Chains A and B, each alone.
Chain A
């Protein structure tokens, strides 16, 4: 069974246009920073913080696809196999976002200083005589930061390409050969170990939590993981539905869409659980060094985003995606997938921006333009990877199980 995807002209043009918008926005940002009469520290911080926000967001939501393949392989699940090429294609392009993220992170750590020669995004880079930051120095220092970032991003990029390469190699293996299956099975265990130590713990500490370096939360990484996971599911959903609309992925039916819809619903609730757990413990114990985080976000200049975040990411999914027909309806799930991706983009926005920007935050041409640029890179790279192989993993030993799959 042969199912080839060819990039339609419209998708190609859209992705090119989005990338062009992103590049133009970046150039305009640089120009306005250099030429602007009133460019001050807040504008400089905004320039870098927005790039950081989008790079972190896109890296984390694409890495979820690798996590998903590994988790399903390790559980010997079959429900993903019918559209396995989609998470594979997304995971194989993690290296692009990882590279961009690494460049931006190193530019901020080593290059970015405000007019007082302080790093206002990662304050631990220039601790001065701040006792708290000096006390955290063994962990929060540029050498450790660079080391961990390179190792994590390198491993994610490698595993994303490795899983896809192995899955493609299975196509030319003898029929019903399980050698590669067990190879992927073993490596999935290794990847989950790596992922648990990176995305679920250390990586968000370095990239996001150290922006407000005085504050810490022990479940912050789980919270960012849940946020990335639900957006990652929504991203896969959008690709699967797009490919179905193009006449590809004939074997994928409403049962598979229902599965993804269930995950979007369930992980939204899981995200709310973690979001609320973090909030309530800080609210209840009322320690000044902890409440400073929510003082800015809930009662300060970010209260609009704080409440919008809760409504978009909890109230909407739970009410709209609760019923079974809604999860099997292409329009509802597409709409909710876009809403969820936007909502969690906002969630990351309110994790990152309050530290460097304070009350000077904007969601304006620059923020939207950079987001569009990243979306363009995602669409172009993933669609190009999708064209390179048969969309049906014909030789996968789980394929029959995947096709007759029923989502009750």
Chain B
């Protein structure tokens, strides 16, 4: 993706985090992401995240599963290999409903899981920059992207005024990449 500059603020209390999120958004800064050790209820609304279209994708995957099952089974039993089972007609729809149901669920489940991984940029074998080592332990880490129109010191000062315990400026890859945890990050390799 792209290498960007980030201001990182770590909070140690969600009660401080919520007003901070509100202040940051009303001051016009764009929140890149917030990392928390557990799911914080209401944080997505506070950040202004929209409801994703994951379920619409799921509906489409489900329809693909239904049509795959009905199409494939009906092709086999009516034209490719028609056999009479138990005196039933070749096109024995009720008997296929369980398989159709299973395939609908399978397609929807697998498709939605992969889409979910893509949307959140998580996958086995994929690496992302860790902004703060304690973001999965006991710290709530808010990351703000620093564009060229913003001054680092001002952003840091502002974040400290909202109650952040630790602040830092980091240059890092914003997206995900294939790689292992013991290797260097791509921008570090590029810098030598």
Chain-B contact segment, one of A43-51, A60-68, A279-287: A279-287
Interface size on A, residues (CB 8 A): 10
- In the assembled complex, B87 has its CB within 8 A of some CB on chain A: yes
* Least distance between A170 CB and chain B CB atoms (Å): 28
What residues on B are CB-neighbors of A158 within 8 Å? none
What residues on A are CB-neighbors of B88 within 8 Å? 284
What residues on B are CB-neighbors of A284 within 8 Å? 86, 88, 94-95
Asked if B86 and A322 make an inter-chain contact with CB atoms under 8 angstroms apart, the answer reads no
What residues on B are CB-neighbors of A283 within 8 Å? 94
Across the interface, name the chain A residue whose C-beta is closest to B51: A324
Asked if A280 and B86 make an inter-chain contact with CB atoms under 8 angstroms apart, the answer reads no
Asked if A280 and B59 make an inter-chain contact with CB atoms under 8 angstroms apart, the answer reads no
Contact (A280, B97) CB under 8 Å given A286-B87, A322-B59, A406-B41? yes
Across the interface, name the chain B residue whose C-beta is closest to A284: B95
**A218-B38 Cα distance, complex, nearest whole Å:** 46
Interface code A182-201, partner B: CB below 8 Å = 1, 0 otherwise? 00000000000000000000
- In the assembled complex, A342 has its CB within 8 A of some CB on chain B: no
- In the assembled complex, A331 has its CB within 8 A of some CB on chain B: no
- In the assembled complex, A276 has its CB within 8 A of some CB on chain B: yes
Residues 280-309 of A at the B interface (beta carbon under 8 Å): 280, 283-284, 286
Residues 5-55 of B at the A interface (beta carbon under 8 Å): 41-42, 51, 55
* Least distance between B74 CB and chain A CB atoms (Å): 17
Asked if A280 and B95 make an inter-chain contact with CB atoms under 8 angstroms apart, the answer reads yes
**A323-B86 Cα distance, complex, nearest whole Å:** 40
| Candidates A280, A324, A406; contact of B94 at CB < 8 Å | A280
What residues on A are CB-neighbors of B97 within 8 Å? 276, 280
What residues on B are CB-neighbors of A286 within 8 Å? 86-87
* Least distance between A317 CB and chain B CB atoms (Å): 15
**A324-B94 Cα distance, complex, nearest whole Å:** 30
* Least distance between B23 CB and chain A CB atoms (Å): 24
Most buried by A among B42, B51, B88, B94: B94
* Least distance between B51 CB and chain A CB atoms (Å): 7
What residues on A are CB-neighbors of B95 within 8 Å? 280, 284
What residues on A are CB-neighbors of B41 within 8 Å? 406
* Least distance between B102 CB and chain A CB atoms (Å): 13
**A280-B100 Cα distance, complex, nearest whole Å:** 14
Interface code A320-354, partner B: CB below 8 Å = 1, 0 otherwise? 00111000000000000000000000000000000
* Least distance between B94 CB and chain A CB atoms (Å): 5
Across the interface, name the chain B residue whose C-beta is closest to A283: B94
Across the interface, name the chain A residue whose C-beta is closest to B56: A323
Across the interface, name the chain B residue whose C-beta is closest to A282: B94
Asked if A324 and B55 make an inter-chain contact with CB atoms under 8 angstroms apart, the answer reads yes
**A95-B52 Cα distance, complex, nearest whole Å:** 47
* Least distance between A322 CB and chain B CB atoms (Å): 7
**A166-B55 Cα distance, complex, nearest whole Å:** 42
What residues on B are CB-neighbors of A280 within 8 Å? 94-95, 97-98
**A284-B98 Cα distance, complex, nearest whole Å:** 13
A-B pairs with the 10 shortest C-beta distances?
A: A280-B94, A283-B94, A284-B95, A276-B97, A280-B97, A279-B94, A286-B87, A286-B86, A406-B41, A322-B59
Interface residues of A (CB under 8 A from B): 276, 279-280, 283-284, 286, 322-324, 406
What are 20 inter-chain pairs, A to B, with CB distance below 8 A?
A276-B94, A276-B97, A279-B94, A280-B94, A280-B95, A280-B97, A280-B98, A283-B94, A284-B86, A284-B88, A284-B94, A284-B95, A286-B86, A286-B87, A322-B59, A323-B55, A324-B51, A324-B55, A406-B41, A406-B42
Q: A280-B95, A284-B95 are in contact. List 9 more A-B contacts (CB 8 A).
A: A276-B94, A276-B97, A279-B94, A280-B94, A280-B97, A280-B98, A283-B94, A284-B86, A284-B88
